[in-house]
Amino acid sequence: KMAAPPAPGAPGAWGGVRRRCQRLLYWVPVLFISSILCWSYYAYVTQLCLLTMTNIGEKVVCLVAYHIFFMLFVWSYWKTIFTLPMNPSKEFHLSYSDKESLEREPRGESQQEVLRRAAKDLPIYTRTMSGAIRYCDRCHLVKPDRCHHCSVCDKCILKMDHHCPWVNNCVGFSNYKFFLLFLAYSLLYCLFIAATDLQYFIKFWTNGLPDTQAKFHIMFLFFAAAMFSVSLSSLFGYHCWLVSKNKSTLEVFRAPIFRHRTDKNGFSLGFSKNLRQVFGDEKKYWLLPVFSSLGDGCSFPTCLVNQDPEQASTPGGLNSTSKNENHLFPAKPLRDSQSHLLTDTPSWSETAAKAEKGKVGMSNPALTMENET
């Protein structure tokens, strides 16, 4: 017998209405950017190029260049908004029996034993602040390295950078390249408008041109382009620095914690490899909003020294012999390689856990489960 839908005044019905209203409100920043973009197109193409410019050659060059920047801007923005964030694959989700065991066991060492068994064949190299295995109690999964739970999307996002309200989406492994290109092309778009509009802005400001309807559009267009250029240049510069260091925004505020120590540069492989990890090996795709990032988003090579028997190999399946030697990035995505799950690499084995327990005693914080967002 099917359950009847909640009555209009029931709490469940109001909760559904509230969630729908929230989802609609989340699109307000996107609609604001879209409306500014539509107005700038009208102001530049119609009011500036077609009605104000008198030189045919200048008019053609400006229109062609403008539409190239406009197309790249809209394309990258669209891809950033509508590319679904990637979530951890099924290997990281707890089985039904593991979920039951986790719910039955009291918090502490027994729960960590369950999580260690679930994660023993997974490429998990980072831990929580207390040294516990990173586990999401909302998604019921062992978190891959660099994965975090987004409170807005209510999902675990692979290589999550941040949740951006201007695109109403999480920026992570699947769309980080698109987000970078969106910042780059929006900055170029604003700089191009400001540069080509400057002389006409000065002419209108000094009354060098007749006072027409175009005056408002051209003057305000320059102010808007200049203002957005300043804010976008700082944001784009910051993310370029993140790419060069192979960091995410979350990792800047909370450095990744590996099994042996915290290392803020643990995922940095050097500038060239860091760049290729985001943009890929084929340079012809670098400037286009098409997915070309390396890897599968679940495992990442590191530059750390293997300091204990547990860490016999890195997520990339490559060994390192010195701290200054970086791992070579896999020639193909880790999802397609044989080293995806690293089944030949022990991880958090029971013997190692017992040895650590003997060193620090029963109060070892690594044996307590910590849920982390």
pLDDT for 6:
54
Q: Which two tokens stand for residue 142?
A: 């062992």
Sorted by where each begins, the domain ranges of the chain are 20-87+168-285, 90-165
Q: Are 129 and 257 in contact (CB under 8 A)?
A: yes
Q: Are 200 and 182 in contact (CB under 8 A)?
A: no
Q: What is the mean pLDDT of each run of 10 residues along the chain (373 residues)?
A: 51 70 91 97 95 93 97 98 94 88 77 86 90 90 95 94 96 97 98 96 82 86 96 97 96 91 92 96 96 94 60 39 37 36 35 39 36 49
Q: Cite the active site residues.
A: 164
CA distances from 62 to 41, 193, 200, 201, 301 (A): 12, 9, 13, 16, 45
Q: Which two tokens stand for residue 153?
A: 């999307």
- Cα distance between residue 373 and residue 151, in whole Å: 8
pLDDT for 5:
54
Q: Count Cβ atoms within 10 A of the Cβ of residue 131 and give its class: 0-12 exposed, 13-18 middle, 19 or more buried.
A: middle
Q: Which single residue is written with the structure tokens 């109060």?
A: 363
Q: Are 316 and 329 in contact (CB under 8 A)?
A: yes
First CA to last CA distance, the chain: 39
pLDDT for 212:
78
Dihedral sign computed on CA atoms, order 177, 178, 183, 184: positive
